Amino acid sequence: MNSARPFAYSGKDSILCCDGVQLDRLAKKFGTPLYVYSAEQIAGRLKLFQESFAEIPHLICYAVKANSALAILKLLDAQGAGFDIVSGGELERVLAVNRAAAARVVFSGVGKTAAEMDAALRAGILLFNVESEGELELLAERASKQRKRARVSLRVNPDVFAETHPYISTGLREHKFGIDIRRARRVYREAAKAKYLDARGVSVHIGSQIRSAEPFGAAAERVAGLIRDLRRDGHTIEFLDAGGGLGIEYHLSLSGDDASGAHSFDPKEKVTQYAAAVKKAVEGVSDVTLLLEPGRFLVAQAGALVTRVLYVKKNGEKVFVIADAAMNDLIRPALYQAHHEIVPVTRTKSKKRVVADFVGPVCESGDFFARDREMPALKSGDLAVILDAGAYGMPLSSNYNSRPRPAEVLIERGRARLIRRRETMQDLLAPETL
Ligand SMILES: *Cc1c(COP(=O)(O)O)cnc(C)c1O
């Protein structure tokens, strides 16, 4: 499965389907707003990554925060993926899927607590990606308390610029992430003194939604250079963790609908270019296992948010399409000014198009999915689909405005399976007292 998306129109009524399953049926059965994901697309993306690095020792550690649904973690685990986690909660999710997967877990994040370290040590994770000297000190203390050796990789900040949204750029010295690469050798020397720390790797992650391969190559090259230095210093470095961050194309119309043809996206070509840049950078380091932490690339295009139009209203010249999904369900447009393609579930013969704001019911002006967007005319009761919502959608959702979170459905071999039921008001009220 190498197409950009699993969503396509089919049948004489031209109904939008996910891997052949009609989305109007799913909306009827499970209600809206509804997240729908393709298992085949996610597994296919993982396979693309695995094949692109097949000739060198590697482990693809899926970044759990992109979409932490248990069913998605389970399908990736079954295909041999490892996991990149950023909290004790994400560790719990991985362990709930498969306790043995702990051996394939790398733990990133700038603010690990003692309790999170203890849990990860108990579970026996592969590697702690340590992001500060303070964290290294605390980890040494926790590991010695448990008399368990902690395998450590320092996340270095390579000071590489990558073109992306400032909120998801992480590889510059001014960002909170990692340890300045110029200080790294000194920190490894400190780490080597701790009895229960094993410095085994170097890691890097320069940001998210990065579309060119070049900055990944530049960052990996700096890390490779550091590994050579560290080995000369006497450290046993086995792992080079090149992080995640490979982007997708959000400005991609559904095939057949594309009038301009301005944007294209070939996932296989993207991974191949990315892999070539990373592999070239690590050519000069022998006996190293490459770790990669893709998140968005594996799941973004596999998922969509199905929503029903509540009202269409006009304020002066402006048209507002008010849907039952809102920023609490998918915050990317509000948070990052992110673009999502929006398409109707039923493709009509009518060529009528309007320029409209596609918004949710939440009481915030930031609650929009598209502004001044030309789109097919929709009316109250119509279903629409917000595409490419598989990554950083549901995991960033909230109950703002006391809105229960959407249900999630996974399409597997042409069948839809509810993998998370819609929240109820009881779920929301449960932790509170009067
Ligand atoms: C968020 C994150 C990733 C995944 O980023 P994507 O852009 O989703 O691929 C990988 N590694 C670390 C350390 C991260 O914080």
Concatenate the DSSP letters of all residues of 174-216 into one string.
TSSSSEEGGGHHHHHHHHHHSTTEEEEEEE---BSSB--SHHH
SS3 344: strand
109 pocket-lining for ligand 1 (C-beta < 6 Å)? no
Is the Cβ atom of 243 under 6 angstroms away from ligand 1? yes
CA distance 289 to 282: 10
State pTM to two decimals. Answer: 0.96
What's the CATH fold of domain 39-299?
TIM Barrel (3.20.20)
Task: State the closest ligand 1 atom to the C-alpha of 170, by its place in the atom list counted from 1.
Answer: 15
Does residue 336 have a known ligand-binding role? yes
Q: What is the whole-number distance in angstroms between the Cα of residue 136 and the centre of ligand 1? A: 21
296 lines ligand 1 (CB under 6 A): yes
- For position 108, what pLDDT does the model report? 97
Neighbour order of strands in the sheet with 21-22: 7-10, 15-18, 21-22
Question: Minimal CA–CA distance to 279: which of 62, 56, 48, 82?
Answer: 56
How many C-beta atoms surround the C-beta of residue 27 within 10 A?
20
Check pocket membership of 270 for ligand 1, CB cut-off 6 A. no
**Best residue among 90, 290, 293 to mutate for probing ligand 1, ranked by most atoms within 8 Å of CB:** 293
Task: Confirm whether residue 332 is marked as ligand binding.
Answer: yes
Q: Does the beta carbon of 295 sit less than 6 angstroms from any atom of ligand 1?
A: yes
CA of 149 to the centre of ligand 1 (A): 26
137 is in an annotated binding site: no
Helix (H) / strand (E) containing 427: helix 425-429
Ligand 1 atom closest to residue 294's alpha carbon, by position in its atom list: 9
Tokens at 119, concatenated: 């849990």
Q: Is the C-beta atom of 153 inside 6 A of ligand 1?
A: no
User: For each successive 10 residues of the chain (434 residues), what is the average pLDDT?
Assistant: 85 90 98 98 98 97 98 98 98 98 97 98 98 96 98 92 75 78 93 96 95 95 96 97 97 69 85 97 93 98 98 95 98 95 91 94 94 96 98 98 98 98 98 98
> So what's the pLDDT on residue 19?
97
Q: Report which protein residue has its CA nearest ligand 1's atom 10.
A: 244
Q: Is 225 annotated to bind ligand?
A: no
Would you put residue 12 in left (φ > 0), alpha (ψ -120 to 50) or beta? Answer: alpha
CA of 102 to the centre of ligand 1 (A): 18
Report which residue type is found at 236.
T
Atom index in ligand 1 nearest the CA of residue 65 equals: 1
Provide the annotated active-site residues.
Answer: 363
Q: Which of 48, 175, 205, 206 to mutate to test the pocket of ligand 1 (most atoms within 8 A of CB)?
A: 205
At 18, phi and psi to the nearest 5? -115, 115
The rounded distance, in Å, linking the Cα atoms of 47 and 315 is: 49
Rounded to an integer, what distance in angstroms lies between the CA atom of residue 113 and that of residue 154? 17
- Which whole-number Å values give the CA distances from 394 to 220, 319, 422, in the listed order? 31, 28, 12
293 assigned to a ligand binding site: yes
In angstroms, how far is CA 167 from the centroid of its own chain?
A: 15
Q: Given this structure, which CATH class describes domain 7-37+301-428?
A: mainly beta
| Structure confidence at residue 170 (pLDDT) | 74
The whole-angstrom separation of Cα 4 and Cα 266 is 6
pLDDT at residue 262, as a whole number: 65
293 lines ligand 1 (CB under 6 A): yes
Question: What does DSSP assign to residue 67?
Answer: -
312 CA from centroid of ligand 1 (Å) = 38
Structural domain boundaries of the chain?
Answer: 7-37+301-428, 39-299
**What's the 293 CA to ligand 1 centre distance in angstroms?**
6
State residue 1's pLDDT score.
46
127 lines ligand 1 (CB under 6 A): no
Measured N-to-C along each axis, helices 184-193 and 214-232 cross at an angle, to the nearest 10 degrees, of 50
> Is residue 203 within 6 Å of ligand 1 at its C-beta?
no
